[in-house]
Amino acid sequence: MIVLNTVIEGDAIETLQSMASQSVQVVIADPPYYNVLKEDWDTRWDRVSDYLEWSKIWVSQCMRVLRDDGLCFICGQLGKREHGFLHLMSHLCLKYQFHDLIIWDRVVGYNERRDSLTPAYEMILVLRKSDSVKFRKERVRIPYDVKTIEMYLRDKRYKARDARFNHLSKGKYATNILSVPSLKGSSNEKCGHPSQKPLDLIKKLVLMSSDEGDIILDPFLGSGTTAVAAEDAGRSWIGIEKDSAYCQIAQKRLEELRGIFITQKQQQGETKQTASRENHHTAERFALRS
């Protein structure tokens, strides 16, 4: 029995196999990269072919549980040491429908490499199951700065100035290059996972591919970023993580988020009570004057 909005400690493939087909709207997966990090979960395959066979299994299960109008996001990177993802993308694009390839511009790059160009980006392969998918790119617009808006408004070709201003105020549509600073050790968001993705990056994926109440699946939850992004955006989620230490980190982040929600509701309640008392006192004063 899969319980929504609860961290599931377990193996990704085993848990996925227990899930109903077409039961989630979005998959956001940040799997092991294969021998990139010195972690047990990234070095447990002897050959890249073994890693690819394992990857094909979990992806097939993710695509099975994905709704026909859903999107599957798979994170990966390329470099002299990270070529396994290239082979995986080739296989997956032959088997499933290709939707997009998002380039995550890390803004803050990796440490310098002496024997190759230093990677400055990672990739997110986006797959789909049908020609008709839920895709809301208007939700991830990039704001224009004030000077740019003023410059565009001076263009005499646009007669409906108010309509033009309304359009510019919403920002420009995002491209398939998403510039989001990576998390360095000094980041307040960093919480102990070596390949933790920025919350802002994952939230963009959630917003562009789902509506409130939809279910987001992360088969490799790690520090819980997908769960936090989904819950903050009003989505339900399923998060699977094999490492108990990461499960605890994810749970702590969720508890902190839920604490913020409770505080906000309390503040909203207090504001309403204050407004109600002020209205009541105003009514009393008005009645006395009358």
In a domain, 70, yes or no: yes
Instruction: Give CA separation, 129 vs 132, 138, 157, in Å.
Output: 9, 22, 42
In a domain, 275, yes or no: no
Q: For all residues of the chain together, what is the average pLDDT?
A: 87
In a domain, 285, yes or no: no
In a domain, 59, yes or no: yes
3-state helix, strand, coil in the chain (%, to 5): 45, 20, 40
In a domain, 281, yes or no: no
Count of the separate structural domains present in the chain: 1
* pLDDT greater than 70 at residue 100: yes
In angstroms, the CA 246 to CA 287 distance is 61
User: Looking at this protein, which amino acid is placed at residue 28?
Assistant: I
Give the three-state DSSP class for 185. Answer: coil
Q: Tokens standing for 217? A: 């699946």
User: What is the CATH number for 250?
Assistant: 3.40.50.150
Residue 167 or 241, more confident: 241
Residue 259 or 210, more confident: 210
CB 238 within 8 A of CB 2: yes
pLDDT digits (tens, 9 = 90+) for 112-152: 777 777 888 999 999 999 999 999 999 999 999 999 888 88
| Burial bucket for residue 81 (CB in 10 Å: 0-12, 13-18, 19+) | middle
pLDDT digits (tens, 9 = 90+) for 268-278: 665 555 555 55
Question: Whole domain around residue 101: which residue ranges?
Answer: 7-142+175-257
In a domain, 58, yes or no: yes
Q: What's the mean pLDDT in 248-261?
A: 90
Helix (H) or strand (E) holding 147: helix 146-153
In a domain, 232, yes or no: yes
pTM of the model: 0.85
* pLDDT greater than 70 at residue 108: yes
* pLDDT greater than 80 at residue 14: yes
Kindly state the percentage of the chain with pLDDT values over 70: 87
In a domain, 148, yes or no: no
Cα atoms found within 13 Å of the Cα of residue 71, Cβ hemisphere only: 24
